[in-house]
Amino acid sequence: MSSSLFRRFTVGFAALAGLLAGIRAADAVTAPILVADVDSGKVIYAQAPTDPWYPASITKLMTTYVALDLVRQGKVSLDSMITISAAAAAEPPSKMGFKPGTQLTLDNALKIIMVKSANDIAYAIGENLGGSIDNFAALMNETAQRIGMRDSHWYNPNGLPDPRQWTSARDMAVLARALIRDFPDSHDLFSISAIQFGRAVMPNHNGLLGRYPGTDGMKTGFICAGGFNVVATATRNGRRIITIVMGQPSPRERDVKAADLFDYAFTQSAGWTSPTLDALPTSALPQPPDMRPFVCGGKKPPAIEDGPGALTAPGSAAQLIGGAAANSPALAMAAFSNPALRARSLPPRAPLQPVAVWIGRNPAEGQQILDAQEAQQKAAAANSRAAKLEAAKAKRLAALEAAKQAHAERAERAQAAKEAAKQAAKSAPKPAAKVAAKPAHALPRSASAYTAATTPSMPEAKPGKGLSKPAPKTVAHKPAPARKPADKKASAEE
């Protein structure tokens, strides 16, 4: 085997081994799932419930707890003004896009982060309530420990990627119970189907709201490293269930799996043998897995909201696995992975009921600010158009001037070339005149080529007699050789 062939074989084998290792790593990742009863805190079903996981925007539930806790302590109020800083405005989407200096009430800010999941607003809440993001993160960690969360580490209030920030399904269930228990007056904050800002209506990213009967909260989240997460609550016949699903490859699969878990949980009773959230064992994983290669890969990140879907395959998990199997969590989870369920989606969403939010202290002030901003935008747009027209006009004039200048330069070069040609013609030496060589005895112009070499002279007229006879016409013939005249008289007569 040649060295080049061996090298190609080695590289190909290494690539195949890496691919298989990646597949094994993907198969080894267990996405956290937890279903618990809200009132008792009993666990109905758990899968990797304490494994560390990147929370993404479900972080905003922690931010909301800290904010509501500060209101409860009297340090701030829901009417306190939140100012958007330049740093907050620079946060990446999802965001409201408010300009630095914009103000809004804490109440509106919390509604916006629960529905729109706006990163700029969550960042502004952290800055304004904590004095800085680091101080607010410290408040988040102190509060988390106080309410019984033990697997979470917080470094920012919006959940944007930070390798140091993670939580667990168990901790999020603890947080959800604490929000429901400690702030009953804020219950509606987690079930708003949409907000309306000006003329814009923004639906909640939670795909269970208005689709799964009884859903009344709470929050979704997504980053490539953590996949699609949801902390959801639903109530049926007076019983409230918390379902946490993490690390899903799409919002549709996340929502369908959560709905099936609710169906399963409402058929179960959390007996005295069921463990509590506090009794769940600590995970052995030192840090969260990175789901980016399996969720996003090299492609564009999936959309946060997959829109209203149609029910494409009927039946819930409990119906598919049958009544007897419904009592087995292992069989239930096997049914959740059934290919028949992978194509399912939830029914279309119920009509939205938007809740108005605004900037400023009240709707009237907010409308005035919006009107002023709209007038400024129109003026800026008009100025921009005028500037573009002026620039286009200047460009055309410059082009015309350049064309004229180019034409003048071409004419000048042509004239210069013409003058140079004339000058060259004058200075060039004249050619020698062709002079025809004349014979030694040139004939006159009127002479014939056959005229005799010696022309006899006219005889003298004799006195008393008329003119002499005309000389006979000369006939063209070859000249005879010259002869010597016999005598003088004969020569005269000829």
CA 419 to chain centroid, in Å, comes to 62
117 is catalytic: yes
Q: Which of 42, 57, 168, 257 is catalytic?
A: 57
**For residues 183 and 28, what is the distance between their CA atoms, to the nearest angstrom?**
39
Phi, psi of 144 (to 5 degrees): -60, -45
151-168 core/surface letters (b: 16 or more CB in 10 A; e: else): bbebbbbbbbebeebbbb
Q: Which of 42, 60, 219, 257 is catalytic?
A: 60
Question: 116: which strand partners?
Answer: none
- At residue 261, the 3 state secondary structure works out as helix
Contact between 192 and 114 (Cβ < 8 Å)? yes
Sign of CA dihedral 35, 37, 42, 44: negative
Which among 184, 187, 117, 176 has a CA at the least distance from the CA of 149?
176
Contact between 125 and 109 (Cβ < 8 Å)? yes
Which among 231, 177, 217 has a CA at the least distance from the CA of 33?
231
Residues in CB range of 356: below 8 A, 6 or more apart: 195, 196, 197, 363
Which among 82, 72, 61 has a CA at the least distance from the CA of 358?
82
Count of positions (residues) in the chain: 494
Q: Which of 94, 117, 152, 345 is catalytic?
A: 117
* CA geometry: angle 101, 103, 106, nearest 5 deg: 140
Residues in CB range of 81: below 8 A, 6 or more apart: 103, 104, 105, 106, 128, 361
90-118 core/surface letters (b: 16 or more CB in 10 A; e: else): ebeebbbebeeebbbbbbbbbbbbbbbbb
Phi, psi of 222 (to 5 degrees): -155, 130
In this structure, which long-range contacts are made by residues 295-303, counting pairs with CB atoms below 8 Å and at least 24 apart in sequence?
Answer: 295/224, 295/227, 295/228, 295/247, 295/249, 296/224, 301/222, 301/224, 302/222, 302/228, 302/249, 302/250, 302/251, 303/251
**For residues 386 and 10, what is the distance between their CA atoms, to the nearest angstrom?**
65
Residues in CB range of 66: below 8 A, 6 or more apart: 129, 136, 139, 140, 143
**For residues 215 and 349, what is the distance between their CA atoms, to the nearest angstrom?**
12
Sign of CA dihedral 262, 266, 267, 271: positive
Active site residues: 57, 60, 117
